[in-house]
Amino acid sequence: MSSHDEAGLTPNGNGATCAPVSCSCGHNHGHQPFAGETAREPDPNALISARAVSMWRGSREVLTNINLDVKPGEIVTLIGPNGAGKTTLVRILLGIEQPGEGRVVKPASTRIGYVPQRFEVDSAIPMTVASFLALGEHTTLKDIKAALEETGAVKTLNQQLSKLSGGETQRVLIARALLRKPNLLILDEPASGVDFTGEADLYDLIDRLRARHNLGVLLVSHDLHVVMARSDRVICVNGHVCCSGKPEDVSQHAAYARIFGPQAATVLGVYRHHHDHRHDLAGEPKPLASKPPADPPPPARGS
């Protein structure tokens, strides 16, 4: 068992304070429960729980011992670099795939609204937004309009799905999710294909919906700034749970800095300074997660 010393790995020397954050960082997975998700038994209040979920692709372990709970009314953000297994985890939570090990617990009362990543409709399929929202659901045109009104996309009603912009597509997908009357919303990279201001608007919308419908929200993201400040809890995933906790704590965490680079910690800091002024971020460096894989692979995967 490799057991690295946490301090010795800190690349940014701003003193990773681990106190409010779980510091498992993968090195001792298998026998140490993770803070925030410490309970062995799934939280009875949770809308969905993963316990000790592991997954293999061929001989490669893409997820290791993941524990996770989403409770009503909270926004949990899964964050991690590309290829960290975030989408695989979401697919397991949704029941699209079965985990190699571990289990997903979902009370019967949980109704999931899912917004998939990269929803690119083949233009060979003719489909208006209205017909898409009616597809397979017992809904009325009134409900459909109301849902689109709520997500701010009512003018797309009679447009072709394949002709929508990235932001419009996301809003239509969220409307479809809302029509299922969910209490848990799972969104996989909702901001991909959306420009920066559109991205902030989108997260505002998610935040509003959460408050209005008391939704639990599980967000997947590889970008950092806008998402994190709105999250109640951030779980940093890179095959395993590197760290989790409140956004400001995670951003200061060594494992997080190791994955996203030392500047990543400051991104959130800047954002929190200008709480309501997303334009102030215009000069920000791009999210480091989209950097080419120049940084060394996280040492956590040493096993």
Partner 1 sequence: MFEWPEPFVWRAFFAALGLAIIAAPLGCIVVWRRMSYVGETLSQAGLLGVALGLAADINLTLAVILAAVAAAAVLTLLSRQKMVPIDSALGLMHHASLALGIAAIAVVKGPAIDLMSYLFGDVFAVTENDLYWIYGGGAVVLAITLYLWQSLVRLSLHEDLATAEGISPRLPRAAFDLLLAVVIAVAMKIVGILLVMAFLVVPAVAARPLSDTPGRMAVLAAVMAIFGVIFGLWLSLWSDAPGGPSIVIALCTIASISLLAGSFRRR
DSSP symbol at 295? S
Confirm or reject binding of residue 192 to partner 1 (CB under 8 A): no
The conformation of residue 34, written as its DSSP 8-state character, comes to P
- Specify the residue, 89 or 112, whose C-beta has the smaller distance to partner 1: 112
Asked if residue 1 binds partner 1 (CB under 8 A), the reply is no
Among 12, 119, 193, 207, which residue interacts with partner 1 (rule: CB under 8 A)?
119
Residue 132 as a binder of partner 1 (CB under 8 A): the answer is yes
Give the shortest CB-234-to-partner 1 separation in angstroms.
Answer: 23
Per CB under 8 A, the list member of 17, 45, 131, 214 interacting with partner 1 is 131
Binding piece for partner 1, criterion CB under 8 A, among 25-33, 68-76, 87-95, 283-291: 87-95
Given 124, 276, 282, 292, the residue binding partner 1 (CB under 8 A): 124
Asked if 237 and 80 touch (Cβ cutoff 8 Å), the reply is yes
**Least separation, in Å, of the C-beta of 173 and partner 1?**
8
- Report residue 58 as tokens: 């061929």
Tell which one of 7, 13, 96, 291 touches partner 1 (CB under 8 A): 96
Residue 127 in the binding site for partner 1 (CB under 8 A): yes
Q: What is the nearest approach in angstroms of partner 1 to the Cβ of residue 1? A: 33
CB 296, min distance to partner 1, A: 28
CB 181 within 8 A of CB 166: no
* 285, two tokens: 């460096």
* Residue window 133-172: x/- pattern of binding to partner 1, with contact defined by CB under 8 A: --xx-----------------------x------------
**According to the binding rule CB under 8 A, does residue 121 interact with partner 1?**
yes
CA distance 234 to 238: 13
- Part of the chain binding partner 1 (CB under 8 A), chosen from 132-140, 226-234, 282-290, 294-302: 132-140
Structure tokens at 202: 């989108």
Q: Extract the runs of DSSP E, i.e. beta strands, from 164-232.
A: 184-188, 216-221
Q: How many residues bind partner 1 (CB under 8 A)?
A: 21
Instruction: Measure the CA–CA gap between 271 and 284, rounded to whole angstroms.
Output: 10
First to last CA, the chain: 7
Of the pair 48, 234, the CB lying nearest partner 1 is at: 48
* Residue with Cβ nearer partner 1 (10 or 110): 110
Tell me which amino acid residue 294 is.
Answer: A
Give the residue, chosen from 4, 103, 180, 213, that forms a contact with partner 1 under the rule CB under 8 A: 180
Residue closer to partner 1 (CB basis): 131 or 197: 131
Kindly list the residues in this chain that would bind partner 1 in the complex (CB under 8 A): 91, 94-96, 112, 114, 116, 119, 121-122, 124-128, 131-132, 135-136, 160, 180
